[in-house]
A and B are shown apart, each in its own frame.
Chain A
Amino acid sequence: SPYGTGVAILTGALRFTLATNIDDIKLRRDLSLCLLQWKSGVVKQLGWTVSDDLLCVQEDGTVLVYDLLGGFKRHFSMGNEVSQSQVLETKIFHSPYGTGVAILTGALRFTLATNIDDIKLRRLPEVPDLQGAPSCWAVLTQDRQSKVLVANGSHLFVLDNTACTPVTPPGLSPQASSIVHMCVSFSYKYLALLTDSGHVWMGTSNLKDKFVLLLFSCRCRRPKSQQPSAVVMWDGLLLVVGECKETIQYHLDDDSILVPELDGVRIISGTHHELLQEVPGACEEIFKIASMAPGALLLEAHKEYEKESQKADEYLREIKEQSLLSEAVRQCVEAAGHEHEPETQKTLLRAASFGKCFLSNFPPEQFVSMCRDLRVLNAVRDYTVGIPLSLTQFKQMTIQVLIDRLVYRKLYPLAIEVCCYLKTPEYQGVSRVLKHWACYKVQQKEESDEVIAKAVSVKLADAAGISYSEIATKAYESGRTELAIKLLEFEPRSGEQVPLLLKMKKSPLALSKAIESGDTDLVYTVVMYLKNELNRGDFFMMLRNQPVALSLYKQFCKHQEQDTLKDLFNQDDDHEELGNFYVKASYKEQRLEARIAHLQSAVDEYYKAKKEFSAKTTEDEMRLLRFQRKLEEEKGEQLVGFSLHDTMTTLLSVGLHKHVEQLYKDFRVPDKRFWWLRLKALAEKEDWEELEKFSKSKKSPIGYLPFVEVCIKHHNKYEARKYVSKVTLEQKVKAHLAVGDVEGAAEAAIERRNESEIGTVLSRCAATTDHLLVERLNRAKATVAKK
């Protein structure tokens, strides 16, 4: 029973069959890669992932993953529902998201996962009237979504996440017959259906366009090519069906299976592996019988040249006359790319090179890169390697993926050769291969840690951008902690070392490495890990030795765990911080008693820290709070929480002068500020009488200019004038100006013989009304200036 399938995306020649006994899986290449003794459950389906792993889907929905050499990698389940109702059919598909698995369960429901590396199971809606297994189904990827196309008899349905939609392919009458096979093209663009009446329907996969409806029968796979066409196989007969009504027929000797590819279809039988593809344009042009294409002529010219015949010149002339020589060279190079025989490739390239000689300014890139690509392709096509890629596939696959494929096959030397030959940047090329080699190396049990560590470091020493931590992880996973630590020493990125060190329980080392990296998030990660791992004492001890980590942890505690913060300060005997802590805490309290209690603790701590000023200040604060509460109770004024200044202002505004006096004395408020305070408060109240009394009570420590200014601010010029005379000489000008007395100001300024003041006054004079004054000032200014 042909259980085998080929490797999906562009993988190529992995030929492998499954023996009739499904308990014995034999993977075979031209040289078999490995022989696997199957011990697990009944396998329903085999398939390959994009990264060359083998997937075995079991009846109970478990999927086992093996690497290319038969090593077990992991397994995962397709969910409870699947395991209960068992797997009926499975399809493995590829989408932009990776490799997916679709399952039809015994309960006739579909479950699929679009990416096996990040499994999110999706259960698709029910298909109406489905009694038994559908006659056939396929997975499509459209609009970034994977859908299932199901045929039940003559009915066709599209299942997506939300709905099950019946569809009718145009041109295929629904009552006609039931669909027995369907196949989606490699690019998901086209669809072919085969009905039991022997019709083949081909169209686009969105079922909008029909290409052709033909009469046939059998199993089919279809390749994509310039003209959509399907390949149909029936026992020993292979048919290629195109848009025209003609078919091409081949006869096959063996039982074979078909694997669709990007640019053709692989036919794999027990003994052979063939690639069926449309002849590429360039090859056709050149090798067509009696072709007069420039490439064909150039090839001919070269052949004659080799024979030293003058005909070469004739051919060449013919091409040059049509000035098609560069076209000819291009054709030859392209055709060489599509040829699989090295001899033919050589002939074509030689012809191209010959043609190039007669061209000036022909860009060499195409020729050079083709030579390189072919060299690599020929190397990997060798039967010992067994990756028979076509050039188109190689281009699609990119060199990175090819190197990956080589690495999966453990063909490290070849991979390195390829990288060097193609001059791939070290980081993507050689270094990556070496890393894979090292990962493989550390899993070899028979060698000692020292030997391996040395071997790895010697080989990898010069390679740039090696991730030693990945290698170390591999070593740790295979149970070699010591080796892992040795290898981690080589890792230049300290950030990379941390997670593994944590996993290996080397937490102090992890912490210092995290700090070294400067990445605070990483430090936090380790700190949080340690917090859960260690008991509190040990944890604090460890932090004490790492100030950076400690201060970060303090930040964390400040927002999350206030109590821990207190413990930390206590441990360090940091009394000042403790004091600050209590001060902060006091503001969070609603009740005054609690606030004062916190403040008292703060005072104690400040004294312990010998912070006299802070302690005294906090004592003052407590005193003020008590005072405020007392007054609140007595007088009903809202005071608690006000600053001393605001308290005094409030009290003055309600006329509680005595209490203000008391505060003034108790808190030793400086005279100056006290005067300002009273001045402003009285002006605010517009209590001008009281203000005047106050001004005469004592000589003002702030002078009398503020009196003038404050009065003006409250629009009382009359009161302001009262104080002008008291203002000191230096401020006279300002005072006069403030009350709008320009003449007075002029008088004062002239008297003081101060040039800048005269200037100020001048700027305030209106030239028209005060011209006498202006003159006087100007004269005074002149005399001052003379001196």
Chain B
Amino acid sequence: ICFALLCHRTKLILILECQATKTCRKYVDLATNTDNANVKVLIDPKQFSRNEANGIIIIDKLQPRDFHILFVPRRSLLCEQRLKEKGVLNSFTNIDEYILDLIPYDGDLLSMESESSFRECYLENDQTSLYHAAKGLMTLQALYGTIPQIFGKGECARHVANMMLRMKREFAGSQTQILPVFDTLLLLDRNVDLLTPLATQLTYEGLIDEIFGITNGYVKLPPEKFAQKKQGEGGKELPTEPKKLQLNSAEELYAEIRDKNFNAVGAALSKKAKIISAAFEERHNAKTVGEIKQFVSQLPHMQAARSSLANHTSIAELIKDITTSEDFFDSLTVEQEFMTGVDTDKVSTYIEDCIAQKDPLIKILRLVCMQSVCNNGLKQKVLDYYKKEILQTYGYKHILTLKNLERVGLLKPQSTMRNNYPTIRKTLKLWMEDANEQNPNDISYVYSGYAPLSVRLTQVLARPGWRSIEEVLKMLPGPHFEERQQVPTGLHKKRQPGENRTILVFFLGGVTYAEIAALRFLSNMEDSGTEYIIAATKLINGTSWIKSLMDSPEENLP
């Protein structure tokens, strides 16, 4: 479900998140019982039909006793039907929809925030989110012009492209004539590259997400590190509320370091610290009134920079505590062994030990899935051994989760086919031995050696083109294709020499921060000649991704 503040001219609308209300009748009851009576119920139809437990109620102080319902992201006949069955449909004066497809997250990032999109597409064969993706892309095209070229890889990509072409036919004649902003759209299925999200991200932003979890652009951090500031007030009490920080490119420092490999962040921070203190030192040089005035005028900006620096230094310390731990190092080593193809066909002692110590289940699942993906499936014996270990340790109920992972292809028994992962790795140069973390020259820096497959595909598409890797593309699941959309004559973009091409990369099933960092790196690379805008059904990391695939029947035991 997505949160959005709806501003209706001068009216003040409050949004309350309302969970755990059992049925829709409850929504209305709740609404009636509140003092501020006019209520808009924002219902995510998907959530509604799923468990009837999520919704947002908007209370409008101005007009009492009126109920409005807003569907997000789209009006659903099914949901209306259900409201009717419950006999509450007539309680609403207005039934409307709040179309929310692609939400801008940053200057170059759009997300649909559809959590279960991957699960729905690959596990449940429910392509609702793809329909919304296609609709979102149509809206985007209505605003920024028809995208002349569409490339894609994977079943879902094919489906979205088909829907887009169909919708284009349907809307024939009604489009506005706009000069295309995007030259190319690349649709990528997540299941083309199952490996990348499983690996631990090693960029600054990626690590923040891996360790603390970024939700809707905010991160909640343990408060201890942020407490010292108030020393002067003599308060020894530590704040108990987690510290909440907004993370986006509006913060100058963050924009600078977010996509760096974490090992390069320390240097960047200390450099910044020097610059800031030098700037503060300036005051001693300020002699004339004019100079002092100029210095004072810069103060707010400098103070903001200083507090931003303090925040990020604290975060970096928190992360460093974890990255320097032996545990982190060991699991990273194992990950890298898998990615380079070392001993992927045997039971890994490390995983065994982790299970024996009952480490978090998701960590285990990430590693086992990674081994399976890197080995193009595990030997039946190895697979069964892992499964048995997991079930005995974490409970038999996880058999359903394991089946889910098998169905989406994250876990599989080895087929008679050759393991083609090494070929893919070599052809696409997925492993770079000497990844430069400080001054990267290749996208592999985001995983300290591993170059994300999805981004590599994007890079090859831009230059020299997919024709050069036809063989590898055939090894990856799903069809690859190219479509062209007619652009009215006169709207053909005449590119100035030196002007960049713009590619919109749409990840169906989610994208990680490290992949975003890699694409940004490609955008910023000199002589790349291509700028990337990123869209996704959801911003994910390995943990949230595996979690979305888990199935744990609620236990109603006494």
Mutual binders A and B: yes
Chain A residues at the B interface, C-beta cutoff of 8 Å: 426-427, 431, 463-465, 492-494, 516-522, 524-525, 528, 547-548, 551-552, 554-556, 559-560, 580, 583-584, 587-590, 613-614, 617-618, 620-621, 624, 640-646, 667, 669-670, 672-673, 676-677, 680, 702, 706
Query: 4 closest A-B pairs (Cβ-Cβ)?
Result: A464-B173, A676-B356, A587-B553, A551-B125
Any chain A CB within 8 A of the CB of B482? no
A590 and B77 contacting across the interface, CB-CB below 8 Å: no
Name the CB-closest residue of B to A624. B396
Tell me the nearest residue of chain A to B352, going by C-beta: A672
Q: Quick check: A492 and B393 within 8 Å, CB to CB?
A: no
In the complex, the answer to whether A518 meets B49 with C-beta atoms within 8 Å is no
Residues of B within 8 A of A463 (CB): 173
Q: How far is the CA of A646 from the CA of B394 in the complex (A)?
A: 8
For residue A676, which residues in chain B have a CB less than 8 angstroms away from its CB?
353, 356-357
B77 is contacted by which of A465, A522, A669 (Cβ under 8 Å)?
A522
B227 CB-CB contact with A under 8 Å? no
| A667 lies within 8 A of B392 (CB) | yes
* Interface majority SS (helix, strand, loop, mixed), chain B: helix
Q: Which of B371-425 contact A (CB under 8 A)?
A: 384, 387-389, 391-397, 399-400, 403
User: A614 touching B353 by the CB < 8 A rule?
Assistant: no
Structural contact, B353 and A702, CB atoms closer than 8 A: yes
With a cutoff of 8 Å between Cβ atoms, the chain B residues found around residue A644 in the complex are 391-393
Contacts of A670 in B (CB 8 A): 352, 389
Judging by beta carbons under 8 Å apart, are A551 and B124 in contact?
yes
Q: What residues of chain B lie closer than 8 Å to A464, measured between beta carbons?
A: 172-174
Contact with A along B125-169 (1 / 0, CB 8 A): 111101100100000000000000000000000010011001001
A431-B173, A669-B392 known; A580+B556 contact, CB < 8 A: no
- Nearest B residue to A668 by beta-carbon distance? B388
A559 CB to closest chain B CB, in angstroms?
Answer: 6
Complex Cα distance, B363 from A80, in Å, reads 69
Give the chain A neighbours of B51 by CB distance below 8 A. Answer: 559
Instruction: Say yes or no: B173 contacts A427, CB within 8 Å.
Output: yes
In this assembly, does B520 line the interface, its C-beta being within 8 Å of a C-beta of chain A? Answer: no
Interchain CB contact under 8 A, B131 and A520: yes
Number of contact residues on B: which range applies? Answer: 35 or more
| Shortest Cβ distance from B125 into A: residue | A551
Contacts A/B (CB < 8 Å), 13 sampled = A464-B172, A517-B166, A518-B131, A521-B78, A521-B128, A524-B77, A525-B78, A559-B50, A613-B384, A617-B387, A620-B391, A673-B393, A677-B356
Contacts of A613 in B (CB 8 A): 384, 387
Which A-chain residue is minimally distant from B169 (CB atoms)? A492
Interface residues of B in 301-315 (CB under 8 A from A): none
Contact of B74 with A521 in the complex, beta carbons under 8 Å: yes
Find the B residue at minimum CB distance from A613: B384
**In-complex Cβ contact of B127 among A520, A642, A669 (8 A):** A520
Q: Can you name 5 extra interface pairs (CB under 8 A) apart from A518-B162, A520-B126?
A: A464-B173, A528-B81, A583-B397, A589-B556, A672-B353
Please judge, given known A-B contacts A521-B77, A524-B77, A559-B51, whether A673 and B174 are in contact too, CB under 8 Å: no
Bound CA span A516–B553, Å: 34
Measured CB to CB, the residues of B under 8 A from A are 45, 49-51, 74, 76-78, 81, 124-128, 130-131, 134, 159, 162-163, 166, 169-174, 352-353, 355-358, 384, 387-389, 391-397, 399-400, 403, 553-558
Q: Which residues of B contact A559 (CB under 8 A)?
A: 49-51
Known: A520-B131, A587-B553. A580 touches B174 (CB 8 A): no
In the assembled complex, the Cα of A492 lies from the Cα of B163 at a distance in Å of 12
Q: A590-B556, A640-B557 are in contact. Are A518 and B127 (CB under 8 A)?
A: yes
Out of A554, A588, A667, name the residue touching B553 (CB < 8 Å). Answer: A588
Residue contact A673 to B553, C-beta cutoff 8 Å = no
**What residues of B have a CB within 8 angstroms of the CB of A431 in the complex?**
173
Across the interface, which residues of A come within 8 angstroms of B400, CB to CB?
A: 580, 583-584
By a CB distance below 8 angstroms, the chain B residues around A465 are 171-174
The complex places the Cα of A677 from the Cα of B166 at a distance, in Å, of 59
Assess the A518–B78 pair: CB atoms within 8 A: no
Contacts of A519 in B (CB 8 A): 131
Say whether A587 contacts B131, CB under 8 Å.
Answer: no
User: In the complex, are the beta carbons of B170 and A641 less than 8 A apart?
Assistant: no
Chain A hits for B403, CB < 8 A: 580, 614
CB closest chain-B residue, reference A527: B78
With A584-B553, A587-B556, A673-B355 already in contact, the answer to whether A643 and B394 are too (CB < 8 A) is yes
List the A side residues contacting B74 at CB < 8 Å.
521
Question: Are A556 and B49 in contact (CB-based, < 8 A)?
Answer: yes
Q: Which B residues are CB-close (under 8 A) to A551?
A: 124-126
Q: Cα distance A488–B88 when bound, in Å?
A: 35
Task: Provide the bound-state CA to CA distance between A136 and B16, in Å.
Answer: 49
Structural contact, B174 and A618, CB atoms closer than 8 A:
no
Q: In the complex, what's the smallest C-beta–C-beta distance from A777 to chain B, in angstroms? A: 21
Shortest Cβ distance from A706 into B: residue: B353
Give the interface centre of A522, A589, A617, A702 by most chain B CB atoms within 10 Å.
A617
Give complex CA distance A111, B51 in Å.
43
Cβ A525 vs Cβ B77 within 8 A: yes
Q: Which residues of A contact B394 (CB under 8 A)?
A: 643, 645
Q: Whose C-beta in chain B lies nearest to the C-beta of A556? A: B49
Taken together as a complex, chains A and B put the C-alpha atoms of A640 and B395 apart, in Å, by: 11
Judging by beta carbons under 8 Å apart, are A528 and B352 in contact? no
Interchain CB contact (< 8 A) of A518 among B81, B163, B387: B163
In the complex, the answer to whether B397 meets A645 with C-beta atoms within 8 Å is no
Question: Please, which residues of chain A bring their CB within 8 A of the CB of B130?
Answer: 518
**Chain A minimum-CB-distance residue to B124:** A555
CA distance A560 to B389 in the complex (A): 34
Closest-by-CB residue of B relative to A589 is B556
Asked if B78 and A672 sit within 8 Å, CB to CB, the answer is no
Establish whether residues A492 and B170, one from each chain, have CB atoms under 8 Å apart when the complex forms.
yes
Which of B126, B166, B171 contacts A552, CB < 8 Å?
Answer: B126
For A427, the chain B residues whose CB sits under 8 A away are 173-174
Most A C-beta atoms less than 10 A away, residue of B49, B130, B170: B170
Residues of chain A with a CB closer than 8 A to B393's CB? 643-645, 673
